Amino acid sequence: MTSPNAATRERLVSLTLTVFAFSSLFFLFLIFLFILIEGLPLFFKAGIKHIILGFKWAPTRGSFGIFPMIVSSCMVTVGALLIGAPLGLGCAIYLAEYAGKQGRIYLKPSLELLAGIPSVVYGFLGVVYIVPVIREYLGGSGFSLLTTSLVLGIMILPTVISISYDALMSVPRSYREGSLAMGATKWQTVYRVVVPSARSGILASFILGMGRAVGETMAVIMVAGNALKIPSGVLEPLRTLTSNIALELAYASGDHRMGLFSTGVVLLIIIMILNYIANFVIRRKVLK
Amino acid sequence: MACCRAILLAGIALIMSACPGGSNHTAVQESFTVNIAGSTSVMPFSEKLAEHFMLEHPTFAINVQAGGSTAGVQACISHTVDIGMCSRELKADEKVLTAIPICYDGIAIVVNPRNPVTSLALSQVRAIFNGSIKNWSELGWIDRRIDAVSREEGSGTRGAFEELVMGTDTIDDATMVQDSNGSVREVVATDPYAIGYLSLGIVDARVTAVAIDNVKPSPVTIHEKQYKIVRPFLYLTLGTPSEAAQLFINYVLSDDGQSILLKEGLIPAYDFS
């Protein structure tokens, strides 16, 4: 008597959950469709070459070149990685290998807190503290590639640390024991055995960190200065793809608006490539 | 004859003054909504006006939204709002709309208070923003690069600045860009080597407004037409506005409305044109 009822209920639950699961895919599809519909017409109208390799962005006068922004986005991403990767990896190694239970209890939650701070707060701190310091001691206006890299470098730390930490922790205990038994010191074990074994996971953490840096918007608008030129030094202002969209969307109409959506198309493609590489790197580790 | 007319007028006035009481009574159940959208420069003042207006007319709901001058124009053309706000002159293809100047606003060129350069020629301002003057030493100060700050493409303040200051020149790509009057003021207030432009109503003690061709921007110099970088704040309507919208526009143009704008540092419409 109760069993067919239970079976129906079971089926109902599984059906509902399937719908929920696919709804996220559905939203992704909608976002894709929306951006493409809004952005693609301009690629045909103005030409892919004109948009992607064009140097001049003056959308109200018919120039839609976003090449400087693509380069700037790449520059801040690399800059963020130069700062965030060594710091993050160091922190992950400490957490996984050196910190005792006590250390982990305090460090892990505070790192999660770091991930939860809204980006506008990072941007605000950047404007109030980092910008004036750089202006006073290094020159320039302070709104610069260096400032943006510093802020983004801190922002990608949680991503880098948590994924690297998981990779380090998944290295079997026997590897460490074997290395120590052969007379290696703790650091030699970490440096020669544990880190190389966790290499692909660490690499994936860097790539996902890059994805976070490319996509960050609010903090970047606040500290980058948003000038349209490719920066000629680390103290020069710059504008990334994301900040271009956020800065101008409120005022845009017609071709200008479409130009911003084509910026979005380019951004989407860059993020997709980064995610694909990260997935590929992680999967290779699983297969090995 | 004249006596007759006076009595007639007095009679009409009496009836009219009696009327609002009556119509008010029936309007209690009815409420009116007026949607306004557009320029971020005009928005704070529209909000203030709407607040005062709604105090006197409790049955009215006036919604003011930002979005930018261009967005205001578009929304008005597509009739999604009753009144559009615009902080620059209309372009040729936007002339289908009726533009009502509600007041005038000066655009001030501002520098940091630590900057001793307090007077510039209009041509020098143009040269700074088109990139041909890059160093403060060229303007008689220290050997330090000028940090010029502009607004983003599509902004009404930028549009008016391009029209009134840049002329046929374009703003240099190396110029920094901030996305509101407030952010420009923030950068100029903190960076001693910065120069920017913003609405005169936004200027406060943390920045210095530079004299242009030896004229300091102020309501007085604008009124006397000595300060030239002045733009209108426009209300836009498509065709004849709704009765409610018209009532609000009338209020804005009335002495009450205009005195609110005057208190905010703007130049009343009747004063200027």
What tens digit of pLDDT does each residue of B133-158 get? Answer: 999 999 989 999 999 999 988 788 89
- What is the distance between the terminal CA atoms of chain A, rounded to a whole angstrom? 50
Domain assignment of residue A129, yes or no: yes
Rounded to two decimals, what is the model's pTM? 0.81
Query: Which residues share a beta bridge with B105?
Result: B231
CA B23 to chain A, closest CA, distance in angstroms equals 41
Tell me the residue length of chain B: 273
What tens digit of pLDDT does each residue of A252-274 get? Answer: 777 888 899 999 999 999 998 98
| pLDDT value at residue A266 | 92
Q: What is the DSSP string of B20-88?
A: HHHHHHHHTT--EEEEEEE-TTTHHHHHHHHHHHHHH-TTEEEEEE---HHHHHHHHHTTSSSEEEESS
Structural domains counted in chain A:
1
Which value does ipTM take for this structure? 0.80
Domain assignment of residue A40, yes or no: no
Q: Contact, A151 vs A241, CB < 8 A?
A: no
**For residue A117, is pLDDT > 50?**
yes
Range of the domain at A63: 57-287
CA A145 to chain centre: 17
Are B177 and A239 within 8 A, CB to CB?
Answer: yes
Q: Is B145 on the interface with A (CB under 8 A)?
A: yes
Q: Which of residues 225-254 of A touch B (CB under 8 A)?
A: 225-229, 236-237, 239, 246-248, 250-253
Are A228 and B193 within 8 A, CB to CB?
Answer: no
Nearest in space to B102 (alpha carbons), one of B210, B10, B236: B236
Domain assignment of residue A17, yes or no: no
Q: Considering chain B, what is the average pLDDT of its residues?
A: 86
Domain assignment of residue A22, yes or no: no
Indicate which CATH number applies to the domain containing A268. Answer: 1.10.3720.10
Q: How many CB atoms lie within 10 A of CB B230?
A: 19
What tens digit of pLDDT does each residue of B161-189 get? Answer: 999 999 999 999 999 999 888 899 999 99
